[in-house]
Structure 1
Amino acid sequence: MLTRLWRALAFEPLPWVARRERRPDSLTLLLAGGGRLEGPPADPYATGDLVTGLRLDGRTHRRAAGLVEALGVPHGAAFAAELDDSTASLALSRAGRRPGPGEEPRTGWEWEQTVVDGHPYHPGCRSRPGFSVAEQLAYAPEHRPLVELGLVPVPARECLVTGDWPEHLRDGDRILVPVHPWQAEHVLKGEEVREGALAAHPLMALRTLAPAAGGPHVKTALSTRLTSSVRDISEYSVETAAVVSAFAHALTERLDGRLHITRTLGAATAHSPDLAAVLREAPEAYAGPGERVVPVAALAGTEPARSAAWQAAFARLAVSVCLEVLDLGVALEAHGQNLLLVMGPDGEPRRLVYRDLADIRISPARLARHGLAVPPLSGRLVTDDETVLRRKLFGSLAAGALAATAGSSAALGEALAAALDGLAPTADSELLRSRPLPVKALTLMRLSPGVPGDQWAELPNPLAGG
């Protein structure tokens, strides 16, 4: 946690950091109140380097929460509590780490459950307020439980349903909405819940699960803050689900089989973000014989990802596809959880699978330039703001999925260079090559509870020399 926190302090636009003095062997933060915070050089893309202590005005701090408390910054007490929670939760996650050396997951959900550490750069990577230790063991994917989802029957006239809601989740004139057991106990206290109706394996997102009997993945509402966000399901997401899914699926026809987007099969809400669910096609639907579909977040440290040649091949595939989709008019949030890689029996990258369309961005102007029909949508998914579009993709793909897989600035630079060399230059690719890389300022956001929306930092671009 201290390592992740130091990265944030080193690069995010925190208002109480007056100046940063970078030297080859150290980094010093001069604070607005006159204090000095000293530590080792910070690589914004490193995942293996550990920070064991930081010196604030001569005193060494080894606990992330303790350092935040000592800094005395606005909203720091609440953030320090989150960091303590995240630290304890990460220790619990690592205690049951599997598989062991030489063991490889056999199924998609097993691959998901190998991601023990959560977000590779967020100090709150395992923050799960509202979850007891017993509930983490019972519901968190890294502990490999089988979760019994409940069903809440709601009169169909009181629901918004889009797509094809299946018959096995209907009961006469009522819609059966799958609910997470944590949600049933802590939030839906007055609702009729048919408990233990659907056994499922929790995936990396915790609230999305793969039914043990197979079939579509189930995304449930979970009204608590995990890492940074409250995981409910908005009515807007349900209302737009079918249109966005059909549009995105049609768009992939232009990608020559290099990208598949899992379809949203059905979505339902009882006009409440706390009681809603989405049924989504399983990524394994796009695997051929002998192929594996692996979330990119699970690739770091695996045998293939240790090879520079493999990383270059993966980066070429991911960057070329995502830049082409952006040029067509869609910015994917291609971080390591949403982006999956189809690998052949030899482990080589073959195709991409993207899931969860709830937070993409669609540009009518870019679509029109290619003669593509604009889907009948309005609201937050639709924008022609070039900064918003590029931040969405570059922040998730380059500074997220590729960076965490590479594990350092040097390795990310090599992967990006291999990916961009040979691509026809576009305004997007040239900015990706030459400008600082945008990334969500996750710590600043946690310390700014009154500021709505995302806030951003700019990280040194290893291709631009800074």
Structure 2
Amino acid sequence: MHRPPNAEAEVADELAVLRPGLVPRFTAALPGARAAVLTRLWRAFAHEPLPWIEGRERDGDGLTLRLRDGRRLHGPACDPYRTDGRVDAVHLDRAAYRDPARLLTDLAVPHAVGFAAELGHSVASLALSRAGQGPRRPQWPGTDWEWERRVVDGHPFHPGCRSRPGFSVAEQLSYGPEHGPVVRLGLMPVPAAECLVAGDWPAELREPGRVLLPVHPWQAEHVLKRPCGAGAGPDAHPLMSLRTLAVPGGPHVKTALSARLTSSVRDISVASVAASAVLSAFGERLAARSDGLLHMTRTLGAATAHSPDLAAVLRESPQVHAAPGEHVVPVAALDGTELPGSAAWLTAFARLALTVGLRLLDLGVALEAHGQNLLVVLAPDGAPRRLVYRDLADIRVSPARLARHGIPAPELPARMVTDDAAALRRKLFGSLVGGALAGTAGSGAALRAALEPAVRELPHTPDLAALRADPLPVKALTLMRLTPERSGDLWTELPNPLR
């Protein structure tokens, strides 16, 4: 049986040369990292429509999966909304597995070998991320990048939560936000005639006849493979998306970083650059209809050398929407943050998020409001006051719904436009309820306790009725990685937390 490369040993060997003092902490973090990735993988096995699983049988606190080839996979019963659970082992027939990469390899299902390698990277990178953490300070961070540095474990439900294939240990330490580095961006000069520019591209990123595109150092070395004015760009702090960095006192810079992180290879398409200014203005018009409950970060400028591998977007920092004493916090960074009266706080946050999300959905816009794109403005006492949404590139827009409210539909890429109610609801409910709210609540019981009082106060609409009655759609993240021949999102349905 072919075995994937041993990412744990590779990271340990590199670390012994670069940071030998971290090796004991890395080694100590490995069992917990394996369990964290295995927990996410087992959740997928329990709830995603994987074609090689024939049936699922609940037995007390256990769950048995019947595979089409006659084997049986057994593990604990699985709350799909739980983030603090821990699966240390599952059994394939009589053999116990603690290593998720080895389990997937021995399952030998289609495309398992490639995904198993990603899971090995996820375990090793997660252990490295945890090893590099010092004690968390009790006071709240004062900058946006310090908040985002708190997201150590990555995606709460994706087995590839920390998968960074193609990044050496030195590169992870140099570019991973959880390690707290400062990254010096490069500047790639492109003839202005060969560059598409949208919005207001700043004068400091122009030269006579040329546009200067900020470039991530990893992209310059591994993809562009040419000098990009290393050291010529600004110092910046990486945010949790890795490819977006915060310039102190300046904008957030979204760079092209053509690496596979969790589910997909991220780049900046030419179409998204072309639509960026129109989309940003559209977002501001939508925010104006939220009664002050929502801010949209503005896109200041975007540029591309007509290539998704060489492009950049400049966005305003979400911090510009904070009044004195307030904090603007990505929802993903709330985990582990002490909040006043956590149950009551979660209900207030759910009420705020659903009020905004459902109002925009009724208008005709479904936000992808997961814990990275959605931020909450906290009052000095920690109460949730308003929301901030960033990165409009993956929203869905319904021209028919917009027309009912007298809102002109902007010119957008075709992939963003749909009047299908199911597709619109999947986008919002899967990201907001199944992502941001579930990840913050930490369990199905806590999520239900927060949602029930919140939905009672919301206007009765067909979208709310669907949220209350139908199974909850979420992305089938593992199915997507095991079905590489299909592009786009694949979905599964979870038990409705309100029923």
Could you tell me the TM-score, scaled by structure 2's length? 0.91
Among 51, 64, 68, the alignment partner of 1:28 is 64
Distance 2:301 2:79 in 1: 43
Distance 2:83 2:62 in 1: 18
Distance 2:364 2:157 in 1: 28
Please name the residue that 1:199 is paired with: 235
Matched, 1:393 2:428: yes
Please name the residue that 1:80 is paired with: 116
Instruction: For residues 242-272 of structure 1, give each alpha carbon's deviation from its aligned partner in whole angstroms, at most 9, with x where no partner exists.
Output: 0010011111111111000001110000000
Please name the residue that 1:173 is paired with: 209
The answer (yes or no) to whether the contact 1:97–1:114 under 8 Å persists in 2 is no
Distance 1:423 1:98 in 2: 42
Distance 2:287 2:471 in 1: 29
Matched, 1:290 2:354: no
Extract unaligned runs of 5+ from structure 2: 1-36
Among 370, 379, 386, the alignment partner of 2:414 is 379
Please name the residue that 2:173 is paired with: 137
Q: Secondary structure of 1:110's partner? A: helix
Counterpart code for 1:431: A
Give the superposition deviation at 1:434: 1.2
Instruction: For residues 302-358 of structure 1, give each alpha carbon's deviation from its aligned partner in whole angstroms, at most 9, with x where no partner exists.
Output: 211771000000000001111001100100000000000000000000000000011
The answer (yes or no) to whether the contact 1:305–1:405 under 8 Å persists in 2 is no
Counterpart code for 1:163: G
Higher helix share: 2
Give the superposition deviation at 1:195: 3.0
Give the superposition deviation at 1:191: 5.2
Instruction: For residues 63-106 of structure 1, give each alpha carbon's deviation from its aligned partner in whole angstroms, at most 9, with x where no partner exists.
Output: 10111011110110111110000000000000122452524312
Among 45, 48, 56, the alignment partner of 2:92 is 56
The answer (yes or no) to whether the contact 1:98–1:114 under 8 Å persists in 2 is no
Distance 1:7 1:354 in 2: 28
Instruction: For residues 1-54 of structure 1, give each alpha carbon's deviation from its aligned partner in whole angstroms, at most 9, with x where no partner exists.
Output: 110000000000000000000133110000000000001110000011100110
Distance 1:219 1:378 in 2: 19
Distance 1:258 1:98 in 2: 35
Distance 2:51 2:156 in 1: 24
The answer (yes or no) to whether the contact 1:305–1:311 under 8 Å persists in 2 is no
Distance 1:306 1:21 in 2: 38
Counterpart code for 2:50: L
Distance 1:68 1:306 in 2: 41
Matched, 1:259 2:294: yes
Distance 1:161 1:194 in 2: 22
Distance 2:497 2:488 in 1: 28
Aligned-residue RMSD, C-alpha:
1.1
Among 103, 128, 149, the alignment partner of 1:67 is 103
Change (3 A) 1:182 1:192: closer
Give the superposition deviation at 1:423: 1.1
Distance 1:192 1:100 in 2: 36
Matched, 1:235 2:270: yes
Give the superposition deviation at 1:428: 0.5
Distance 2:281 2:472 in 1: 31
Please name the residue that 2:444 is paired with: 409
Please name the residue that 1:226 is paired with: 261
Change (3 A) 1:415 1:295: same
Q: Secondary structure of 1:271's partner? A: strand
Give the superposition deviation at 1:378: 4.0
The answer (yes or no) to whether the contact 2:340–2:383 under 8 Å persists in 1 is no
Q: Secondary structure of 2:118's partner? A: helix
Distance 1:386 1:191 in 2: 47
Please name the residue that 2:476 is paired with: 441
Aligned residue runs from structure 1 range 272-291, under 5 A: 272-291=307-326
Instruction: For residues 161-218 of structure 1, give each alpha carbon's deviation from its aligned partner in whole angstroms, at most 9, with x where no partner exists.
Output: 0000000000111000000000011111135434342100000111000013x11100
Change (3 A) 1:196 1:87: farther
Q: Secondary structure of 1:105's partner? A: coil
The answer (yes or no) to whether the contact 2:215–2:228 under 8 Å persists in 1 is no
Could you tell me the TM-score, scaled by structure 1's length? 0.98
Please, which moves more after superposition, 221-230 or 187-196? Answer: 187-196
The answer (yes or no) to whether the contact 2:272–2:413 under 8 Å persists in 1 is no
Distance 2:134 2:441 in 1: 22
Q: Secondary structure of 2:414's partner? A: coil
Distance 1:16 1:446 in 2: 14
Give the superposition deviation at 1:374: 1.1
Distance 2:99 2:81 in 1: 21
Q: Secondary structure of 1:270's partner? A: strand
Distance 1:99 1:210 in 2: 23
Distance 2:382 2:159 in 1: 32
The answer (yes or no) to whether the contact 1:258–1:351 under 8 Å persists in 2 is yes
Matched, 1:246 2:289: no
Extract unaligned runs of 5+ from structure 1: none
Please name the residue that 2:196 is paired with: 160
Aligned residue runs from structure 1 range 330-369, under 5 A: 330-369=365-404
Distance 1:447 1:440 in 2: 13
Q: Secondary structure of 2:393's partner? A: coil
Change (3 A) 1:221 1:99: farther
Please name the residue that 1:118 is paired with: 154
Q: Secondary structure of 1:187's partner? A: helix
Please name the residue that 2:354 is paired with: 319
Distance 1:157 1:98 in 2: 49
